[in-house]
Structure 1
Amino acid sequence: MQGLMMDLPMLLSRLIDYAADHHGETEVVSRQINGSVERSNWRAVRSRSKQLAKSLLAAGFNSSTHFSSLTWNTINHLEVFYGVLGIGSPLHTLNPRLTVQDLCYMIELMEDKVCFYDSDTQPLAEEIDRHTDFITQWIYLDEGEDLPASTLRNYMSLSMLKDGVDDQFEWPVFDERDAATVCFTSGTTGRPKGVAYSHRSLTLCAMNMTMVDMYGSARNGELVCAMPVAPIFHANGWMMPFSAPMNGHKLVLPGRDFSPAAIVELISQEGVTIAGAVPTVWNDIIATADNSNISLPSLSTALVAGTAIPEKLYDLLEGRGMGVRTTWGMTEVPGATRASLPPTAGDADKANIRNIALNRQGRVGFQADLRIIDGNGNRLPHDGVASGILQVRGPIVAARYVGELESQSVDWLDTGDIAVIYPDSTIQIVDRAKDVIKSGGEWISSPQLEAAAVSHPSVNLAAAVATPHPRWQERPFLLCTLNTGNTVTADELRLHMAKSLAKWWLPEDIKFIDEMPLTATGKINKVRLRELYVQVDAIQQQA
């Protein structure tokens, strides 16, 4: 016997309709590309999105047209999200921080035909236009100004496209498994890989990201003010453009200006209660707030992902009264773990809670099954001891990448992470498979090396990579940047690290550098570090 429920597809147009109809006056605030702050609400966002959808169809585009966006976290971009997705077309969010070569590769792989851009990304759009013929229509996301002159071969403004078109429009109905947004990995380990989310997966993911214990800080919808510090092109801004309207949250978009001063200003000005960022960004936010004597009293939840949180940063955030919530996910599977404490730690003391936050990356989430395997594919126990390759499956997990054949779909996605899973369902990311340092047949964890180094008061950022060794196969090579005005010698840092690490883990080679290369999403770019330092070091040793 089958169920007798109505069979309505999970479409993102239903989500924006729900937001407009049931909490339409809740604010959406956006810093625009020109620096001004625009105030709107969910009802107006729906209206603008419907007007755009109707305009695109009137211009001859349809659900078969592949759209892309080369822009930042603005209300214009939010309008594009719901307008394009509402007509059943995929929206490929391009990362303006990548190279022209990578961007053209992604555009051609996706067969994008229309691209939205803004005043900040216009020079990049023009360069892309010179290198590929795939984009046949460029649409400028204006903010009330005239359309600027450009070398683009075919371009118009958003206002021109929508001129004379109203918002009286019925969203079409289509298969919930159709592609919605397409986000590419940042390409730090080779060519970027495209993840095509479906309407169904994004709806489920938004629900998953706002379950009562996802962040352990649930509040009534309109009391939450969320701000994605991660750009929208990175895993859909940690899903906040979808979870906020679903739950009636106020949404704050930082626009193009991701500088710590601008972020701190918006958090303080708009009463942001929850924000998500990688540790390097949080570090800058807190340092800026301290230097400006801004307390950020509204910010009750600090989401941290991307890498383990350093002890110093945890203590700084907690010291301001913020609940630090650590989770794990990927572009291929956003929000795979939830940040709430395991049942056994419900009444834990602060020291135990701190230990869990520093050493675990959340608990297994509902929509993502996690397991660890050894090199032969054998499943390993979740006993808090065994470590292995982390794999994940579920309705919010990518089965294959854009351009791959259906036969290349996987039942379990190999994440590339080495992890330990505990009996209480918490997980600990030990290392990236390619970042594990294997010395004398034993593994050395680069995150633990980095955490030990950053715990020194003079060290700002640290990265541990493997360097070849004639006897031990590999040894750790530590690269550090220092806090302004601080000094420390390699020997002093090594002595400090010895307080928490085994002696044989300590790096013989420590190099202090002026600037740490970061990826487009704010993580330390170890591929670039190896190019700059490890290869040079190996050549010098051979000489």
Structure 2
Amino acid sequence: MRGTMMTNPMLLSRLIDHAAEHHGDTPFVARRIDGVIERSDWARMRDRAKRLANAMTGHGFKVDDVVGSLAWNTSNHIELFYAALGIGAGLHTLNPRLTAEDLRYMIEKVGEITIFIDADTLPLAEQVAAITPMVTRWVFMDEPGAPVPASALPGFVTKTDFIGDASADFAWPTFDENQAATICFTSGTTGRPKGVAYTHRSITLGSMNMSMADMYGTHRRGSLECMLPIAAIFHANGWMMPFTAPMNGHKLVLNGRDFSPEGIIELIDGEGVTITGAVPTIWMDLFDAAERQGSKLETVRTGLLAGTRPSRALAERFESFGITLCQSWGMTEVPGCSRSAPAAGSDTLPADEQHERHLARQGRVGFLSEMRIVDDEGKPLPFDGEHAGHLLVRGPIASGSYVGLSDAEGFEWLETGDIARIYPDGSMEIVDRAKDVIKSGGEWISTLQLESAAASFAGVAEAGVISIPHPRWQERPLMLVTLAEGVEALDEAALREHMQGFVAKWWLPDAIRVIDTMPRTSTGKLDKMALRRLYAQRSENIIA
């Protein structure tokens, strides 16, 4: 017997309509590229998106087309999100932190011929245009009262002129909910970036997934919450906040181009931000700046953290600011896969044990995701918290392929590239990246645990560990560290003694080298590829 329920497609035009119709006066605040704070609401944002959608249709855009954006966290960018997705065109959100050559590679993979840019990304766009003849139109997202620079970009036009006299009287088309919506590329830490084409269905489900109580532990209703995505919205859709905020009637605040701690604090304190999220490095910088400025960040109740496990020191700083730390894990391919919810009874454990069982892990398996761990031969391993294996994920919010692959090249389970343990209570702990695992004499050494142990030493600001060849053990760890502020030299013997309290003695790195700065990817993560290049350039013989 078939069910009797309607089969209306999950389209993101319905999301912006819902926001405009049922909480249209909820504020939408964004910093422009020129630094001006722009104030609007969801009803006016829907009108803006409809005018742009009307103009795009008039310029020949239709379902199955792809448009690119090279832009920051602005209201112009959100307007483009809902206009493009509303007419069924895919939106390829290019990362302005990448090189022109990286962007060329991505553009050729996806195939867009029109790209929207802003005042900050214009110089990069001119570099990209020189090597991407397939892009024949560049739309400059101008801001009221701000000057429009001259440009020789092919087909250069301002958004104002592109829209012309198009009205907001526009009917959203209907199409398959599995149509591509946004296209994001992975950060490419272990090779060429890969493109993920989210669908309208997956973003709708993913936004519901990110709105669940076990993701944000202090979540409240509607406009009682104010969200600020510190993650750039070209990175996994800004952790879905541009969709979860209108879905739930939250106030949304965007930081424009200004990702400085001082700029973020200004928005948090000025707009009453209650929920925000970032990688650990950004949180550390934010807390440091808040203490310098005397800000208590008192409106923030929920701090989402992902990217890597928090140190005990970072967890204590969350506590000192009265912010509930919600640890999660995901990837471009599967955002919000694990949740912050602690297991039953764990909230009554001593603080140290709570940290080890809850915060030091990457969350618990979420409802819309299935996880499994397998050995090198693909054999499933038990969820006993002891066996570690390759982490695989599947579900309606996980990517089953990459842009450019044929249907036959898709996969049933997404290989995350992480080595993990899964415990009986459903919590998951990342042990390492598969390509970063050091297999010494047939035994695994966790680079993450080595880095965490070193980073808890008073003289070390940050640590990165890579593998280097060894004539007997095949691989051994090399550690590179940056020094804490005010520390002039590393006491290596003291560091090694300290680390022995956290890891087995045979895990200790064969060599430790001090470097000036730790390389990062465009998303703020430790760049292991750059560390390997740094080691390769060294002429010294590290391992005798």
TM-score w.r.t. the length of structure 1 is 0.97
- 1:54 corresponds to: 54
Deviation at residue 276 of structure 1 after TM alignment: 0.8
Pair 1:400-2:401 in alignment = yes
CA contact (8 A) 1:227 1:252 kept: yes
How far apart are the structure 2 equivalents of 1:410 and 1:122? 38
- 2:524 corresponds to: 522
Aligned letter for 2:179?
A: D
- 1:13 corresponds to: 13
Provide the identity percentage. Answer: 53
Deviation at residue 363 of structure 1 after TM alignment: 0.5
- 1:513 corresponds to: 515
Aligned letter for 1:52?
A: L
Which range is displaced more, 502-511 or 113-122?
502-511
**Deviations 1:287-317, CA, capped at 9 Å, x for gaps:** 1111111111111111111111122111111
Where structure 2 has 5 or more consecutive residues not aligned to the other structure, the ranges are none
Pair 1:171-2:172 in alignment = yes
Q: Secondary structure at the match of 1:516?
A: coil
1:370-449 alignment to 2 at 5 Å? Answer: 370-449=371-450
- 1:37 corresponds to: 37
Deviation at residue 349 of structure 1 after TM alignment: 4.0
Q: How much is the aligned-residue C-alpha RMSD, in angstroms? A: 1.4
CA contact (8 A) 1:467 1:538 kept: no
CA contact (8 A) 1:228 1:253 kept: yes
Deviation at residue 494 of structure 1 after TM alignment: 1.4
- 1:532 corresponds to: 534
How far apart are the structure 2 equivalents of 1:371 and 1:537? 39
Q: Find 2:501's aligned residue among 499, 505, 528.
A: 499
- 1:194 corresponds to: 195
How far apart are the structure 2 equivalents of 1:486 and 1:222? 46
Deviation at residue 115 of structure 1 after TM alignment: 0.4
Aligned letter for 2:511?
A: D
Deviation at residue 60 of structure 1 after TM alignment: 2.2
- 1:26 corresponds to: 26
Aligned letter for 1:75?
A: S
CA contact (8 A) 1:147 1:156 kept: no
Deviation at residue 540 of structure 1 after TM alignment: 3.6
CA contact (8 A) 2:451 2:464 kept: yes
Which range is displaced more, 104-113 or 213-222?
213-222
1:152-301 alignment to 2 at 5 Å? Answer: 152-301=153-302
Deviation at residue 539 of structure 1 after TM alignment: 6.6
Deviation at residue 348 of structure 1 after TM alignment: 3.6
Deviation at residue 268 of structure 1 after TM alignment: 1.5
Deviation at residue 146 of structure 1 after TM alignment: 4.0
How far apart are the structure 2 equivalents of 1:542 and 1:514? 22
CA contact (8 A) 1:339 1:363 kept: yes
CA change 1:265–1:70 in 2 (3 A) is same
Which range is displaced more, 160-169 or 75-84?
160-169
CA contact (8 A) 1:53 1:83 kept: yes
Q: Secondary structure at the match of 1:466?
A: strand
Where structure 1 has 5 or more consecutive residues not aligned to the other structure, the ranges are none
**Deviations 1:436-465, CA, capped at 9 Å, x for gaps:** 111122111111111111112232211111
TM-score w.r.t. the length of structure 2 is 0.97
Pair 1:73-2:40 in alignment = no
How far apart are the structure 1 equivalents of 2:164 and 2:425? 57
Deviation at residue 337 of structure 1 after TM alignment: 0.7
How far apart are the structure 2 equivalents of 1:524 and 1:351? 26
How far apart are the structure 1 equivalents of 2:331 and 2:45? 28
CA contact (8 A) 2:460 2:484 kept: yes
How far apart are the structure 2 equivalents of 1:254 and 1:88? 27
Aligned letter for 1:54?
A: N
**Deviations 1:184-242, CA, capped at 9 Å, x for gaps:** 00122211100000000000000001112222222122111111111111100000011
Residues matched between the structures, number: 542
CA contact (8 A) 1:468 1:538 kept: no
1:125-144 alignment to 2 at 5 Å? Answer: 125-144=125-144
Deviation at residue 489 of structure 1 after TM alignment: 1.8
**Deviations 1:89-116, CA, capped at 9 Å, x for gaps:** 0000000111111101111111101100
How far apart are the structure 1 equivalents of 2:133 and 2:38? 35
How far apart are the structure 1 equivalents of 2:184 and 2:257? 18
Deviation at residue 163 of structure 1 after TM alignment: 2.2
- 1:303 corresponds to: 304
**Deviations 1:119-142, CA, capped at 9 Å, x for gaps:** 100011111111011111110011
